[in-house]
A and B are shown apart, each in its own frame.
Chain A
């Protein structure tokens, strides 16, 4: 306070004005909408109009209705599976990148990240056509002899959502794993080699533990992106592939129950915040000690 007191009044007023201006935009367009949204979750709907009286009804409905909790749980399992698939594919690829030298390393990294910037909607559509009855996947499986005839196993169900999301989100897993692998000091690996460890031992005892923070960040990235997506399930999920995002979205469309949708969003936000915090926790604890 004493420091502020020594300022000129004009300067102090200017400083206050700058602070207010800096906060205005983020507060008005981010914080206020989210706050209103949260408040909405305590309202209810009566015959198509919103009743502005506080109630816990939406949350009670979410926990007691036999529909919502199972879908919620299944969606979480689905998104964890997506994260696992992405990491299983991304880890070897990221590891391979770090074995390359100089320019090749970054060129290949770029190559694997560029698909991220390509139209999301188009990719979903293309993947659906690949997975479909006349799609490439079925043709390949029949040609190899794994399938007798084309199967509808890969489209318009949960499998389709799982495969499509994994395909879309792999780059988000590659980057954090690559960064954590790249940060491992080469001297550690050489020391391990000098001490007589085999390649596998060095990997299991040095590289893998030190790269786990990257794996944790990758998992939380992929999980958060997967659980927030409602386009992919809508497009490839068909009737059986019902996810939480779809239910949420339908509350603002066909079901027309905004307050209930807001309550579902709060549930979604809590899961997302937990995932981010877990990712942060494990992504940092070892990362800083190196």
Chain B
């Protein structure tokens, strides 16, 4: 790519910078306004304040929604990691009907969330399941299952067969091989998948809006508040969530980036 003349490189760098600015400006707005007061579109830079964070600590409504989101996220992670791993093992075991199974698992991820959400909404109504946090957890699990499944399956497929064969040769039973060889090798993929699943669940809005009962998760609560405009303490919350999300990303990258790439870097 060295053949490119200088002006084109400058042009490309300029576009890239523009894209970065476009992507980050919507994140910048709430963070700035969490520390400064904004009136009529003008930021008052002179007086930084932490009052928004103090107000947040007293906003029980939002904190309750945050707690609900965390509960839903943890349940979703447990359910999706267990079932995603089992399904990946089933797929890898070359049993019958695999491609159909894989197709079904990917469906909710490929279809627009509004379709998955509405299908579940009607389904819950038909089987007489009242809308509640349970239905939200089911909706989230169905949605994130494909990601966990895919992550674990990719690790399984890159795992050397000789490891398993060596274990059998040394006289280990199927269970011993599973617990001592396969599972430890999968663990980092499972953790990575779990983090992705949690991040997706944490921000899932469209399916949640459709299948939630009286208790709302944080994105749904924010969505409801948005029509009236936010109180300043929401900005503080957003700033905190952004920091938390960045942390999650870094963690996920650690578990998911292949080993040889990590060693290459060091």
Which of A's residues lie within 8 Å of B, judged by CB?
A: 15, 18-19, 22-23, 25-27, 29-34, 36-37, 40, 89-90, 92-93, 95-99, 102-103, 108, 110-112, 114-115, 117-127, 129-130, 132, 134-136, 139, 167, 170-171, 174, 186, 189, 193, 198-199, 202-203, 224-225, 227-231, 235, 245, 248-249, 252, 258, 261-262, 265, 268-269, 272, 276
Residue of A nearest to B83 (CB): A25
Bound-state CA distance A219–B123 (Å) is 32
Please name all residues of chain B whose beta carbon is closer than 8 Å to the beta carbon of A199 when the two chains form the complex.
3-5, 8
Select one of A15, A36, A170 contacting B122, CB under 8 A. A36
Once the chains bind, are A245 and B20 in contact (CB under 8 Å)?
Answer: no
Q: Is B26 an interface position by the 8 A CB rule? A: yes
Please name all residues of chain A whose beta carbon is closer than 8 Å to the beta carbon of B230 when the two chains form the complex.
125
Nearest 7 pairs of A and B residues by beta carbon: A228-B112, A134-B41, A33-B123, A126-B26, A92-B15, A33-B119, A96-B12
Q: Is B161 an interface position by the 8 A CB rule? A: no
Once the chains bind, are B24 and A115 in contact (CB under 8 Å)?
Answer: yes
Majority-rule SS of A interface residues: helix
Bound-state CA distance A269–B13 (Å) is 38
Majority-rule SS of B interface residues: helix
Bound-state CA distance A115–B30 (Å) is 14
Interface centre among A40, A167, A231 (most CB of B within 10 A): A231
Interface centre among A110, A119, A227, A235 (most CB of B within 10 A): A119
Please name all residues of chain B whose beta carbon is closer than 8 Å to the beta carbon of A170 when the two chains form the complex.
19, 22-23
Chain B residues with a Cβ closer than 8 Å to the other chain, count: 74
Q: Is B163 an interface position by the 8 A CB rule? A: no
Please name all residues of chain A whose beta carbon is closer than 8 Å to the beta carbon of B20 when the two chains form the complex.
111-112
Once the chains bind, are A126 and B30 in contact (CB under 8 Å)?
Answer: yes
Please name all residues of chain B whose beta carbon is closer than 8 Å to the beta carbon of A118 when the two chains form the complex.
27, 203, 241-242, 245
Q: Could you list some 22 contacts between A and B, CB below 8 A?
A: A26-B87, A30-B107, A34-B115, A40-B122, A93-B16, A96-B13, A98-B1, A112-B19, A112-B20, A118-B27, A118-B245, A119-B241, A120-B205, A124-B226, A125-B222, A167-B23, A225-B112, A252-B118, A262-B122, A265-B114, A272-B110, A276-B110
Q: Is B154 an interface position by the 8 A CB rule? A: no
Interface centre among A32, A96, A276 (most CB of B within 10 A): A96
Once the chains bind, are A34 and B1 in contact (CB under 8 Å)?
Answer: no
Please name all residues of chain A whose beta carbon is closer than 8 Å to the beta carbon of B107 when the two chains form the complex.
30-31, 34
Select one of B30, B87, B249 contacting A22, CB under 8 A. B87
Bound-state CA distance A19–B265 (Å) is 43
Among the stretches B47-55, B93-101, B180-188, the one at the interface with A is: B93-101
Select one of B8, B123, B126, B238 contacting A119, CB under 8 A. B238
Count, A-B residue pairs, CB within 8 A: 214
Once the chains bind, are B25 and A119 in contact (CB under 8 Å)?
Answer: no
Select one of A99, A121, A132 contacting B219, CB under 8 A. A121
Contact with A along B213-252 (1 / 0, CB 8 A): 0000001001100100010000000100110011011000
Residue of A nearest to B96 (CB): A19
Please name all residues of chain A whose beta carbon is closer than 8 Å to the beta carbon of B16 when the two chains form the complex.
92-93, 96-97, 108, 112
In the complex, how many angstroms separate the beta carbon of A95 from the nearest chain B beta carbon? 6
Interface centre among B3, B30, B238 (most CB of A within 10 A): B3
Please name all residues of chain B whose beta carbon is closer than 8 Å to the beta carbon of A235 when the two chains form the complex.
226
In the complex, besides A121-B223, A199-B3, A199-B5, 11 extra interface pairs with C-beta distance below 8 angstroms are: A18-B90, A30-B104, A40-B122, A96-B12, A118-B241, A120-B205, A199-B8, A203-B4, A235-B226, A252-B121, A268-B114
